[in-house]
Amino acid sequence: MTAPQHPYTHPALTAADPELAALVGAEERLQAETLRLIPSENYVSAAVLEASGTVLQNKYSEGYPGRRYYEGQQNIDQVETLAVERAKAVFGVEHANVQPYSGSPANLAVHLAFAEPGDTVMGMALPMGGHLTHGWGVSATGKWFRGVQYGVRHDTGLIDFDEVRELALKERPKVIFCGGTALPRTIDFAAFGEIAREAGAVLVADIAHIAGLVAGGAHPSPVPHVDVISTTTHKTLRGPRGAMLMSREEHAKALDKAVFPGLQGGPHNQTTAAIAVALREASQPSFRDYAHAVVANAKALAEALLARGFDLVSGGTDNHLILMDLTPKQVPGKIAAKALDRAGLVVNYNTVPYDTRKPFDPSGIRIGTPSLTSRGLAPGHMTLVADWIDRGVAAAGKGDEQALAAVRAEVGDLLGAFPAPGLPV
Ligand SMILES: *Cc1c(COP(=O)(O)O)cnc(C)c1O
């Protein structure tokens, strides 16, 4: 099937490169017509989209506002300053660097700022819900530094702070990361803060997933408890693909030097602009409502899934994310994810803690509510969503393509009434 030409946007692109324009159009339709449940994804606003597609793209500006290596920065300096000031206001921090290209380089910059190659860094193990860049072996952070890793308890699915403390005091890491990619529960920044102080480590809260919840007051802020905050800007924060590092003034210089010239060249000014727009949106009362609605939807969805006999890691959720262990359903995560995709429900397969299967063919799927909440779905819709997931997983087990097509049609019907931000209707 060839993708239909997009009706109204991208006239120049369509004229210059119809092949590429058709792909963009197809992606717009896909994002409009599917229920996007990947917890790290979202829909940015039309304003964020526009800002990220501007001529700011054309400008080189190595350095920081007022201290550049290139001339012609009269506008760019103001753009970056706006983004920085808005970040400081939204998160209540003394310092913000908005230049990291994405979350992974931001975390590498943290390593560069506070550790030497070979030094010990500590983070949550990837298969337990941590991130690659917290010292996991295949990542540069685990190859160039000595990563030691904590996990969650087998019985509760929760972090065991006695274990974290014991490991930190034994290994004396330079840097401790908290936060991750598959953590359905509130992160106890205060508990990590106590341990880091006792161990003499720099504590980094990686709030990539929950930044929007923190900004909107739907997750406690790490600010009083941690030294550095690392975050992406494109997950619950609903900005462009990018990242920020934030801290008290004390660590400002080390972080700035690590980002530039330590790791990067010129900042992506069009992204900086879009981050500024997203932060302005995140400072509005409506964003508080959004953040709380994300959590309310996730809790409602978790309840409805539990009622259908699904096994959820840690028994539920406090945030935007649900990690489902499909072992009792006897359907592997990958097979379920691929079937759900055919049913118009986009999820990702994921390891669960103590997974007995392989990372590329794990036992779980990971879902979340940031995108569907951006479309305006409410807790009342979540029984329907749980039902679709239930039917999709059952159909996956039986290879019942007809059942998947039926779910897909229902998904399309509902989403027709909930247009996605930033997409043509
Ligand atoms: C997404 C994520 C990152 C990495 O961000 P990229 O932009 O994909 O490089 C880092 N840490 C955590 C906890 C994340 O969830």
**Does the C-beta of 314 come closer than 6 Å to ligand 1?**
no
Name the average pLDDT for the chain.
Answer: 96
**CATH fold for the domain made of 51-282:** Aspartate Aminotransferase; domain 2 (3.40.640)
> The domain 286-415: what is its CATH number?
3.90.1150.10
Query: pLDDT exceeding 70 applies to what percent of the chain?
Result: 98
Question: With bands split at pLDDT 50, 70 and 90, how would you rate the model's confidence at 224?
Answer: very high
Secondary structure (DSSP) of 181-227: SS--S---HHHHHHHHHHHT-EEEEE-TTTHHHHHTTSS--STTT-S
Distance 35 CA to ligand 1 centre (A): 22
Secondary structure (DSSP) of 44-91: --HHHHHHHTSGGGG----EETTEESSS--TTHHHHHHHHHHHHHHHH
Ligand 1 atom 4: the closest Cα is on which residue?
103
Ligand 1 atom 6: the closest Cα is on which residue?
103
Distance 56 CA to ligand 1 centre (A): 25
**Does the C-beta of 123 come closer than 6 Å to ligand 1?**
no
Instruction: For the beta carbon of residue 152, count every other beta carbon within 10 angstroms.
Output: 25
Interval 365-385 mean pLDDT: 98
C-alpha angle 100-351-145 in degrees, rounded to nearest 5: 45
Give pTM, 2 decimals.
0.96
The residue among 68, 394, 48 whose CA lies nearest residue 234 is: 48
pLDDT tens for residues 154-211?
999 999 999 999 999 999 999 999 999 999 999 999 999 999 999 999 999 999 999 9
**How confident is the model at residue 9, as a pLDDT?**
74
Which residues form the catalytic set? 60, 62, 206, 232, 235, 241
**How confident is the model at residue 7, as a pLDDT?**
44
Question: With bands split at pLDDT 50, 70 and 90, how would you rate the model's confidence at 359?
Answer: confident
Question: With bands split at pLDDT 50, 70 and 90, how would you rate the model's confidence at 425?
Answer: confident
pLDDT tens for residues 325-352?
999 999 999 999 999 999 999 999 999 9
Q: Which of 128, 209, 210, 232 to mutate to test the pocket of ligand 1 (most atoms within 8 A of CB)?
A: 232
pLDDT tens for residues 1-54?
344 443 457 999 999 999 999 999 999 999 999 999 999 999 999 999 999 999
**Does the C-beta of 40 come closer than 6 Å to ligand 1?**
yes
Interval 144-163 mean pLDDT: 96
Q: How many residues does the chain have?
A: 425
**How confident is the model at residue 1, as a pLDDT?**
34
Characterize the bridge pairing of strands 311-312 and 243-247. unpaired
Interval 375-382 mean pLDDT: 98
**Whole-angstrom distance, CA of residue 412 vs CA of residue 404:** 12
**How confident is the model at residue 304, as a pLDDT?**
98
Hey, what amino acid is at 321?
L
pLDDT exceeds 70 at position 416: yes
Distance 104 CA to ligand 1 centre (A): 6
Give the residue extent of every domain in the chain.
51-282, 286-415
**Does the C-beta of 239 come closer than 6 Å to ligand 1?**
no
**How confident is the model at residue 3, as a pLDDT?**
40
**How confident is the model at residue 8, as a pLDDT?**
53
